[in-house]
Structure 1
Amino acid sequence: MSPAQDVLVVGAGIVGAAVARELALRGLSVAVVDSHPPGLGATSAGMGHLVVLDGSEAEFQLCRRSMELWDRLLPDLPSDCQARRPGTFWVAVGEDELALVARKASYYLQHGVEAEALDAKSALEAEPALRRDVSGALFVPGDAVIYPPAAARWLLENGPEGKVSVLKGRVIEIGEGRARMAGGEELSFRWGVLAGGCANDLMPSLPLEPKKGHLVITDSYPGLIGRQLVEIGYGAGTREGKATTVAFNAQPRSTGQILIGSSRQFVGDDRSLDRKALGLMLQRACEYLPILAELEVIRTWVGFRAATPDHLPIVSEAPNLSGWWVAAGHEGLGITTSLASGELIADLMLGTGPTLDPAPYSVRRFAGG
């Protein structure tokens, strides 16, 4: 039986949508399957912060390439994607963190990312609601914000006409050139891509583990903050070991609401609110933005992000199953790095020269991969 599509993408979150769109732009027919409507799985729990991070050279390169691709798309996104460019304000407290501002600014500028180091006075003039003892801040004006579920839908709906179809259902088994749905239907295709959190369910050998995070959104308070505010130690604060960790992250939405994060926990698939973790997260947020204690919270929720041991995603050919590829394990950077991940999958699948060095994202970097 000949395949109905060239490619099956399992996962209709923003990574799966980006993979599908890129493959369609290169002339392939793509079916995307998910048990959730597009963008309403793990993607719906993302803050939508398009940000260049520098936790490692590989992380930086993936972020920067993806931001180049987002820069081309942002002007075309419709209003429901809530695309804006408030920039990121990395907040420092204490001399050690102020030194980190200088190092981070130097790295960004050397690598072509616009950045400005601010002293305490300038930081408070720009964001007067911040705690009074800030030592300074790093402002990265090119970072942006989108509403992830709407962006994922747009990516799926705005590729070449007739090239991308979306199926609702759950894939329970995969093999070479085939996938079996929960209802018994068999799908055939030339290549398959596991995109997002489903990858570990269908390929348990992958070194992926779910990280649970909490988010809080307030009522509307227009103008209270103007930029995405993040403590400069954010990366270390959310990636250390297996213990519950929290870090300050506050985002102004186009509605005037403030979206507050972030927490990270390894708790299996427990989807309940953890009031202790939530309390620690909000306490941390109020330390940096004291006025938050006076604001009305209207919603709190949790989400899961697949993480790898080295905090880099797997974007490569799958191990031990011919014709399958993996784009998963993006942790908290799936929204930002979705477009570059889609580009890299397409480059590798079609044998074109990749824009990025694929080695840091290959599953083979792990023992037994």
Structure 2
Amino acid sequence: MSSERVLVVGAGIVGAAIARVLARAGREVVVLDRGATAGGTSSGGEGNILVSDKGPGAELRLTQRSLVAWDRVRQELRDELPAGFPDLELDHKGGLVVATTDAGAKGLREFAETQRAAGIVAEEVDRARAFELEPDLTRDFTAAVFYPQDAQIQPVVATEALLAAARRHGAEVRQGVEVTGGVHTGGRLTGVHTTAGTLGADAVVVASGPWSAEVASRLGVVLPVRPRRGTVLVTSRMPYRIRRKVYDADYVGAVGSGSADLQTSSVVESTAAGTVLIGSSRERRGFDDRIEARVVAELAAKALLLFPFLADAQVMRAYGGFRPFVPDHLPIIGPDPRLPGLWHATGHEGAGIGLSLATGDLIGELFAGDRPENEFGLDRPGLAAALDGRGAEGER
């Protein structure tokens, strides 16, 4: 057990997962957030835990680890939380990826083949099986691949559950406290200045999602994390007709693109509350949070390509959020080699909900010295251009 004091900056799901892991290991943990817990990106997501949108590589391996972790932690939380705490709504409902063009079908099949080689279950299904999985799916598709490992969780409940468990293990959570600067001693970060006073620490973990670059700057370093805007439509409640997460094959390309321009693709799924969520958009335009008609119109139109019956659905509201974008599309996890005492856990873009537990476990291993290699370190070659100022093209 360790008596280290760790400040975690950010009370979203990634910060919550880290706080729980470190508190369980006996560290003194204080979570700081300038707003409310789960009040940023974690409250604006769909709760996805997806393997279907990730090609072979480091992020997919982290996702595979997370899938195992979510089932384990769900069981652990039953002992750590009081009776009556809301259920996490962890649903292994699977995902169905659909192509509506010949070119899309070819790309989808090739992508699925690479995933199978990495251990992912990716089942190409015929028309009969596709309609068994989704009876109301469009008849105009050219290929479909079913990913039974895809899952979904209620992100706000999951965040609050992890924070509650961290508190039970001794962590403190302070809302409405903003980090304004760093305390440096002998070239090391030894604490932070905040709107509520100065706090000393043995380590500071920045887990502030798309706001991580701002926090890191205040602590004295440059971090290549930028906000990437997304918008989701929510229908009014309706009979349960969409059984899984269903999206068109263009979604994978949008996720992997680094373009700052608006990109939309069809992503449709039901919720436990009876609504239907319709996404997905990606655009880098800073922290501009306006809901725009052009984006809403594109999302609605593309959803109809997958589920024509939605033409009669009523959109109850639209909401947006900011994903933490990193130029090489990998999260930044681990110590900052430029400033001892500073750690990062950010840049998960749209995968932060699913990857939170594996991120927390990885941080815990790195703190304990149990992980000699780290694929997500800040010193990786893919970030060299961004760190020396050559990776800012397309920012607005």
Q: Residues 100-249 of structure 1: matches in 2 within 5 Å?
A: 100-159=107-166, 161-168=168-175, 169-175=177-183, 176-183=189-196, 185-195=197-207, 196-204=209-217, 205-238=222-255, 239-249=257-267
SS at 1:242 equivalent: coil
Which string of whole-angstrom CA distances, capped at 9 and with x for unpartnered residues, describes residues 296-324 of structure 1? 11121111111001111111212422111
User: Which one-letter code corresponds to 2:116 in the other structure?
Assistant: L
Equivalent residue for 2:283, pick from 265, 271, 277 = 265
User: Which one-letter code corresponds to 1:163 in the other structure?
Assistant: G
What displacement does 1:212 show?
0.8
Query: Structure 2 CA distance, aligned partners of 1:191 and 1:251?
Result: 40
For residues 240 and 159 of structure 1, do their structure 2 counterparts lie closer, same or farther at Cα, with a shift above 3 Å needed?
closer
For residues 171 and 5 of structure 1, do their structure 2 counterparts lie closer, same or farther at Cα, with a shift above 3 Å needed?
farther
| Counterpart contact for 1:101–1:117, Cα < 8 Å | no
Structure 1 residue runs of 5 or longer lacking an equivalent are none
| Counterpart contact for 2:56–2:115, Cα < 8 Å | no
Which string of whole-angstrom CA distances, capped at 9 and with x for unpartnered residues, describes residues 202-234 of structure 1? 223111110111011111123211001111231
Percent of matched pairs sharing the same residue: 33
| Counterpart contact for 1:245–1:265, Cα < 8 Å | yes
For residues 288 and 345 of structure 1, do their structure 2 counterparts lie closer, same or farther at Cα, with a shift above 3 Å needed?
same
Query: Structure 2 CA distance, aligned partners of 1:295 and 1:330?
Result: 32
2:81 matched residue in structure 1 = none
SS at 1:8 equivalent: strand
What displacement does 1:114 show?
2.8
Which string of whole-angstrom CA distances, capped at 9 and with x for unpartnered residues, describes residues 78-115 of structure 1? 54422222111111223333334433443343333333
For residues 232 and 79 of structure 1, do their structure 2 counterparts lie closer, same or farther at Cα, with a shift above 3 Å needed?
farther
Q: Residues 1-369 of structure 1: matches in 2 within 5 Å?
A: 6-52=5-51, 53-75=53-75, 76=77, 79-159=86-166, 161-168=168-175, 169-175=177-183, 176-183=189-196, 185-195=197-207, 196-204=209-217, 205-238=222-255, 239-353=257-371, 357-365=373-381, 366-367=383-384, 368=387
Superposition RMSD on alpha carbons, in Å? 2.1
Q: TM (normalized to structure 2)?
A: 0.86
What displacement does 1:360 show?
4.2
SS at 1:359 equivalent: coil
2:392 matched residue in structure 1 = none
What displacement does 1:165 show?
1.0
User: Which one-letter code corresponds to 1:107 in the other structure?
Assistant: T
| Counterpart contact for 2:20–2:162, Cα < 8 Å | yes
| Counterpart contact for 1:212–1:265, Cα < 8 Å | yes
What displacement does 1:5 show?
6.2
Query: Structure 2 CA distance, aligned partners of 1:8 and 1:63?
Result: 26
Query: Structure 2 CA distance, aligned partners of 1:132 and 1:209?
Result: 39
| Counterpart contact for 2:93–2:243, Cα < 8 Å | yes
Which string of whole-angstrom CA distances, capped at 9 and with x for unpartnered residues, describes residues 244-294 of structure 1? 000111121112211111111111111111221221122111222222221
User: Which one-letter code corresponds to 1:189 in the other structure?
Assistant: A
SS at 1:177 equivalent: strand
Query: Structure 1 CA distance, aligned partners of 2:95 and 2:353?
Result: 15
For residues 160 and 203 of structure 1, do their structure 2 counterparts lie closer, same or farther at Cα, with a shift above 3 Å needed?
closer
User: Which one-letter code corresponds to 1:98 in the other structure?
Assistant: A
| Counterpart contact for 1:8–1:189, Cα < 8 Å | yes
What displacement does 1:15 show?
0.6
User: Which one-letter code corresponds to 1:186 in the other structure?
Assistant: T
SS at 1:186 equivalent: strand
For residues 236 and 90 of structure 1, do their structure 2 counterparts lie closer, same or farther at Cα, with a shift above 3 Å needed?
same
User: Which one-letter code corresponds to 1:359 in the other structure?
Assistant: E
What displacement does 1:73 show?
2.5
Query: Structure 1 CA distance, aligned partners of 2:198 and 2:353?
Result: 30
